[in-house]
Chain A
């Protein structure tokens, strides 16, 4: 191979490397930030929906130290919800032992909540109880994050048909009612 050809090949490889490197660095560090989804951390007032003595949803107000974006804040909210109510006369919607593995959002502003298997295994049964659980989650997310349009629930990263054998959760949940 001639020296000139070698030099040309080295130049092409170097140029390709530089361009690819620039794109990767740019996508990580200089991505345009959407202020609706990424913001500075601050103390936030939130409403967590639990179940009252009449079996209906009732909000409990709390303050949380927010994170740097919606995904982090949703995670904090759902963890607070899973920890249960502080006010007397309210019951938890989520079964005990439920852990939120991850939170994602898609282009349609649908939030995906990925839980561990306990959300299925620890179900105590009953359509109303299943509705109470689903809508304590959906109301908590939709009421605190108005930029979110719907909620999807995953279990260990997978889509499932129902959590307790009744309500179809294969579609995004948009309703904020207990009975829709």
Chain B
């Protein structure tokens, strides 16, 4: 009798488990399983190829420095165990890419954020420091013209053509990106300052002036349809800054600060997108 009781218990348990297993599968309940969304970061190393950009007194070329930093940042983002990043580089080698192509590439990749990396130079060798720019809004006409020019390229490639109402939406989106671009620029400023101010190996401290967050009408930022910033890592025309940019440790600190800022802004954007669902 005991054996029968045990057998009945085992059979009933088996039946229960068999019923329970599909119930744990969302698809079986008619729920669609959401894929883990990648957060797409478009990294734009400035200049390249025949366009070397600024050159320091020691011969440091902007195109090489910014490619180093961009590649290091891409690696840190991809290797990070937390968030699922998709990284797109507008160039991964020493190659000339026209501004229009960078913009088109970023927009086609449907990036969540865009970060253009540059090294600065001035007529004055005293000018130094790190600064982050986000776009200053042009007039409505100007924005629309940019969008029209951008889409003229799309027409040649036989992409779907936007209607006039889409330009209005594009302008509204630009205003939305403006606020997020400003937040992103602020996050970079804070992140990089914190990272660089920490002593490095052997207690070495890097002097870097913080020039703040600024606005300007950058051609590359005016074309991309996502929150976008342009980072001027330091001045190659300044002796101390050029030495910093030649140091692998300084570049690592710069990348650490940029990564922290991307983590922060990605969290904000993802929360906003989740809130919209």
Partner of A132, one of B123, B133, B232: B123
Instruction: Flag if B52 contacts A125 (CB, 8 Å).
Output: yes
Partner of A52, one of B99, B124, B145: B124
Q: Which residues of chain B in 22-69 are interfacial with respect to chain A, using CB atoms and an 8 Å cutoff?
A: 46-47, 51-55, 62
Is B127 an interface residue when CB atoms closer than 8 A count as contact? yes
Q: Look across to chain B and name the residue whose beta carbon is closest to the beta carbon of A171.
A: B142
Is B218 an interface residue when CB atoms closer than 8 A count as contact? yes
Instruction: Flag if A165 contacts B46 (CB, 8 Å).
Output: yes
| A contact residues around B53 at 8 Å (CB) | 125-126, 165
| B contact residues around A51 at 8 Å (CB) | 122-124
Q: Which residues of chain A in 127-163 are interfacial with respect to chain B, using CB atoms and an 8 Å cutoff?
A: 127-129, 131-132, 161-162
Compute how far the CA of A53 lies from the CA of B126 in the bound complex, rounded to whole angstroms.
7
Is A45 an interface residue when CB atoms closer than 8 A count as contact? no
**DSSP class of B's interface residues: helix, strand, loop or mixed?**
mixed
Partner of A167, one of B100, B123, B126, B219: B219
Instruction: Flag if B99 contacts A161 (CB, 8 Å).
Output: yes
Q: Which residues of chain B in 112-161 are interfacial with respect to chain A, using CB atoms and an 8 Å cutoff?
A: 118-124, 126-127, 133, 136, 138-139, 142, 145-146
* A103-132 to B contact mask, C-beta < 8 Å, 1/0: 000000000000000000000111111011
Compute how far the CA of A46 lies from the CA of B123 in the bound complex, rounded to whole angstroms.
23
Instruction: Flag if A126 contacts B120 (CB, 8 Å).
Output: yes
**Known interface pairs A167-B217, A168-B222. Does A126 touch B99 (Cβ–Cβ under 8 Å)?**
no
CB distance from B34 to the nearest CB of A (A): 39
Compute how far the CA of A53 lies from the CA of B237 in the bound complex, rounded to whole angstroms.
13
Compute how far the CA of A170 lies from the CA of B220 in the bound complex, rounded to whole angstroms.
12
| A contact residues around B47 at 8 Å (CB) | 125, 165
Q: Look across to chain B and name the residue whose beta carbon is closest to the beta carbon of A126.
A: B121
Instruction: Flag if B219 contacts A124 (CB, 8 Å).
Output: no
CB distance from B173 to the nearest CB of A (A): 18
Compute how far the CA of A166 lies from the CA of B131 in the bound complex, rounded to whole angstroms.
14
CB distance from B118 to the nearest CB of A (A): 6
| A contact residues around B184 at 8 Å (CB) | none
Q: Report the number of A-B residue pairs with Cβ-Cβ less than 8 Å.
A: 101
| A contact residues around B91 at 8 Å (CB) | none
Instruction: Flag if A167 contacts B218 (CB, 8 Å).
Output: yes
Instruction: Flag if A55 contacts B142 (CB, 8 Å).
Output: no
| A contact residues around B270 at 8 Å (CB) | none
* B209-236 to A contact mask, C-beta < 8 Å, 1/0: 0000011111110100000001010011
Chain A CB within 10 A, most for which of B124, B136, B145, B235: B124
Instruction: Flag if B216 contacts A180 (CB, 8 Å).
Output: yes
Please report the total number of A residues contacting B with Cβ < 8 Å.
26
Instruction: Flag if B232 contacts A127 (CB, 8 Å).
Output: yes
Instruction: Flag if A166 contacts B126 (CB, 8 Å).
Output: no
Compute how far the CA of A131 lies from the CA of B232 in the bound complex, rounded to whole angstroms.
13
| B contact residues around A161 at 8 Å (CB) | 99-100, 219
| B contact residues around A128 at 8 Å (CB) | 120-122, 127, 232, 235
Q: Look across to chain A and name the residue whose beta carbon is closest to the beta carbon of B139.
A: A171
| A contact residues around B232 at 8 Å (CB) | 127-128
Is A91 an interface residue when CB atoms closer than 8 A count as contact? yes
Q: Look across to chain A and name the residue whose beta carbon is closest to the beta carbon of B214.
A: A179
| A contact residues around B133 at 8 Å (CB) | 127
Is A93 an interface residue when CB atoms closer than 8 A count as contact? yes
Is A87 an interface residue when CB atoms closer than 8 A count as contact? no
Q: Look across to chain A and name the residue whose beta carbon is closest to the beta carbon of B223.
A: A168
| B contact residues around A132 at 8 Å (CB) | 122-123
Is A92 an interface residue when CB atoms closer than 8 A count as contact? yes
**Known interface pairs A125-B52, A179-B216. Does A93 touch B121 (Cβ–Cβ under 8 Å)?**
no
Partner of B127, one of A55, A162, A171: A55
Instruction: Flag if B51 contacts A168 (CB, 8 Å).
Output: no
Q: Look across to chain A and name the residue whose beta carbon is closest to the beta carbon of B128.
A: A55
Contacts A126-B54, A166-B220, A167-B218 known; 4 new A-B pairs at CB < 8 A = A124-B121, A126-B62, A171-B217, A179-B216
> Could you jot down 8 A-B contacts, CB within 8 Å?
A55-B124, A91-B123, A125-B54, A161-B99, A165-B53, A167-B216, A167-B217, A168-B218
What residues make up the interface of B, taking CB atoms closer than 8 Å to A?
46-47, 51-55, 62, 99-100, 118-124, 126-127, 133, 136, 138-139, 142, 145-146, 214-220, 222, 230, 232, 235-237
